[in-house]
Structure 1
Amino acid sequence: MVMRRLVLAGVVAAAMMAAAAEGFISAKTWSAVRRANRGGPFVGLVVPNAYEMDPVLSSPSFSLSPTLPYLDVQGRRFRFGSIGGQNVVMVMTGLSMLNAGLTTQLLLSLFRVKGIVHWGIAGNADEGLQIGDVTIPEQWAHLSLWNWQRYGDGPENELPLEAAGDYTRQFGFLNFSDYTAGGRSPNELNSIWFQPEEIFPVSGTPEQRRHAFWVPVSSLYFSLAQKLEEMELPACVNATTCLPRAPRVTRVSRGCSANVFLDNAGYRQFLRAKFGCTPVEMESAAVALVAHQHGVPFLTIRSLSDLAGGGSSLGNEASEFLGIAAQNAVDVMLKFVPLLAGAGAADDIVVDM
């Protein structure tokens, strides 16, 4: 009996050591990951929220894998299947830059991914477009990394740690005095200076930082997306609620992300004038930065759900038009992914400020 207990204890200890040797991912999960990768390479599908993912799951265009429909890893569910002959692995990130970046990194660390397609809804900074239009930006920037300048300093004053290369005045600033009701007057909040991300490309020297502000999408993917600009999209939410015209798919120059839900016309207009943003939202730049550092091609598809801060004839009815905006983004994604079935894994990724 004692011997049996000792043997059993040894087996349990060995099993625990084997699991611990795999870090926070168990040996059993690693085995499932290796099994899943036999179906690759995949296009990684990265989506922020359930209302932007559920239409995919219910679409006849998406077929779940009969052998391994999903795999749960560290709070994320990776769903395997195909769209138009292209094998895909889909994961929901949750809200914010942090969740989007962590989930994209996990996706690339675990699975054989040849490219990433990210989609969802966004606020609209371009008053020439309307709710329901689907935008495909050529570049993305993260706009909530700031150096907040002390009161009394101005554009001519060097920022703290600027000389060390940590911060820069290259990309400009927002001065709060310019937005004082009733006219410009001194404001103790002074100015915030927008900063590039500090990145470490996997093909470079470890711990040797580089910087990225405008991150380009895949030139191949962006070129392929031109084929979607003639898509027909629905104009009505229901029998009584319709948009002024049928929504369009349009490639645009720039999209901007920040850990901010933007519902302010003044800041929206500033972002449009200063940076040329069209969609403004909370995840795409994080996906872009992770893919960029790995040299993995990516593209983001964002449907406009509201004019961030109001000011149009449609007001700021994000809740009313959420459904049609989310569905439009899904429809465009489902048309785009099959175009990648014959696309290669390499692309002209360039890391630069």
Structure 2
Amino acid sequence: MGYFLIGVLVVVLFIGNVIEEANGEISPTVLSKIEWMNKRGPYLGIVAPNNFELNPLLASQAYVPYPSLPFIDFAGRRFRFGKISNQRVVIVMTGLGMVNAGVATQLLVSLFRLKGVLHYGIAGNADVNLEIGDVTIPKYWAHSGLWNWQRYGDGIDDELALEAPGDYTRDIGYLQFSKYTNGSDNLLNRVWYQPEEIFPVTGTPEVREHIFWVPVDKSYLNLARQLEDTKLPQCVNTTCLPRPPKVTIVDRGVSASVFVDNAAYRTFLRSKFNATAVEMESAAVALICHQQSIPFVVIRALSDLAGGGSDMSNEADIFGSLAAQNSVDVLVKFVGLLPPYGSKIQSE
């Protein structure tokens, strides 16, 4: 009878933990692990988009997993603990798109003691003057997928729906679809780009602010300038790039939950926003870190000329793995430039 009661108790406790996790709550077991790891912080948070970019980092000799507790699983994410160079790090994979990236980053900064966040991976390229394999570190990031889609027949001088109360604006600009037709009337009219509503931890709860271009941390950016002479591999087997890839500080990157494989839109993003890196997660990471007052920087290697048109066919298929490895190599080198793990870099 005693064994039976113990068995029932175990089942009840197990079901209780499952219910807690299903409701999004932190189980006592997971919470105790988080508290135990936070006593050993602060950590440098590292955010990877997916396995394609995560696995080269995990396989790198630079990454040493924490032996006693190499990871904590929570909310469908795996938070990995270890060291890179002189830094204690916690690594998380986001998954595809802005929502996944925002959720994963918010969990990271809310659950763990962090002194900063590094985001890395590959990106499409909008600057024809750069090459596949180049690693870009943009100064600013914007979410380019928040639009007010204007009614057919309205013009650029007509007020947008809900513009008067401050929900939307025409200040940033628009994309007019009729510029990209073959002569027929285009019912799609135009979309106006919108800033994000944010709620900074330093602000008043539920009092919104707006931001479009999110700046990366200036101190991180200054450190990144030391990477511009980094030597990076040029070839995949016997197929080589026209020149060795380089690390370069660029003006802007844009993100949206849209895979851009269209040359016309790439050209528009370049001419309108002076964007270089075009991808699907970084702006979400930037927005979360900005609101939480966490220093951050983004390292994105160019895997293809978005929409095609480069001298090489199937460029992403051939050089995607090289670009992913380049982003990891630059990330590891950047981590090595940071102060010891117990200190916090001074943001400017």
- State how far apart, in whole Å, the 1-side matches of 2:271 and 2:174 are: 12
Instruction: Supply the distance in 2 between the matched residues of 1:209 and 1:138 (Cα, whole angstroms).
Output: 24
* Deviation at residue 333 of structure 1 after TM alignment: 0.2
**Who is 2:35 aligned against?**
34
- The 5-angstrom pairing of residues 101-250 of structure 1 reads 101-181=102-182, 186-239=185-238, 241-250=239-248
Q: Does structure 2 retain, via aligned residues, the 8 Å contact 1:33–1:111?
A: yes
Measured in 2, the distance between the counterparts of 1:30 and 1:252 equals 40
Check the 8 A contact 1:308/1:316 in 2, yes or no. Answer: no
Give ranges in structure 2 of 5+ residues lacking alignment. none
Distance 1:308 1:238 in 2: 24
Over the matched positions of the two proteins, sequence identity in percent amounts to 58
CA distance in 1, matches of 2:211, 2:203: 14
- 1-side partners of 2:134 and 2:40: how far apart? 34
Aligned-pair CA distance for 1:186: 3.5
Q: CA 1:28–1:179 in 2, change beyond 3 Å: closer, same or farther?
A: same
Cα distance, 1:344 vs structure 2: 2.1
**Equivalent AA in structure 2 for residue 62 of structure 1:** Y
Give 1:311 deviation, angstroms.
1.3
How far off is 1:347 after superposition? 2.2
Contact kept in structure 2, 1:97 and 1:282, CA below 8 Å: yes
Shift of 1:57: 1.1
Q: Counterparts in 2 of 1:43-122, with a 5 A limit?
A: 43-122=44-123
When residues 131 and 11 of structure 1 are mapped into structure 2, their CA distance, relative to the original with a 3 A threshold, is closer
* Deviation string, structure 1 residues 35-80 (Cα, Å, up to 9, x no partner): 1112210010000011101111111111111121111111111110
Q: Is it true that 1:347 corresponds to 2:347 in the alignment?
A: yes
Runs of 4+ that moved beyond 3 A: 8-17, 19-23
After TM superposition, the score normalised by the length of structure 2 is 0.93
Structure 1 residues not aligned, in runs of 5+: 349-353
* CA root-mean-square deviation: 2.4
Q: Give the 3-state SS of the residue equivalent to 1:339 in structure 2.
A: coil
2:318 counterpart SS class: helix
Matched, 1:263 2:261: yes
Alpha-carbon offset, residue 9 of structure 1: 6.5
Instruction: Give me the whole-angstrom Cα distance separating, in 1, the residues matched to 2:249 and 2:9.
Output: 62
Query: Which one of the candidate residues 330, 333, 340 is aligned to 2:331?
Result: 333
Cα distance change of structure 1 residues 20 and 52 upon mapping to structure 2, 3 Å threshold: closer
AA partner of residue 267 (structure 1): Y
CA distance in 2, matches of 1:220, 1:312: 34
Q: Is the 8 A contact 1:296 1:345 kept in 2?
A: no
Residue 296 (str. 1) matches residue 297 (str. 2): no
| TM-score for the superposition, normalised by structure 1 | 0.92
- Pick closer, same or farther for the CA change 1:61–1:174 going to 2, 3 Å: same
Taking the aligned partners of 1:307 and 1:258, their CA distance within structure 2 comes to 17
> Counterpart in 2 of 1:24?
25
**Aligned CA distance change for structure 1 residues 71 and 150 (closer, same or farther; 3 Å):** same
Counterpart Cα distance in 1 of 2:321 and 2:10:
56
Report the Cα distance in structure 2 between the residues aligned to 1:10 and 1:100, rounded to whole angstroms: 36
**What is the aligned residue count?**
344
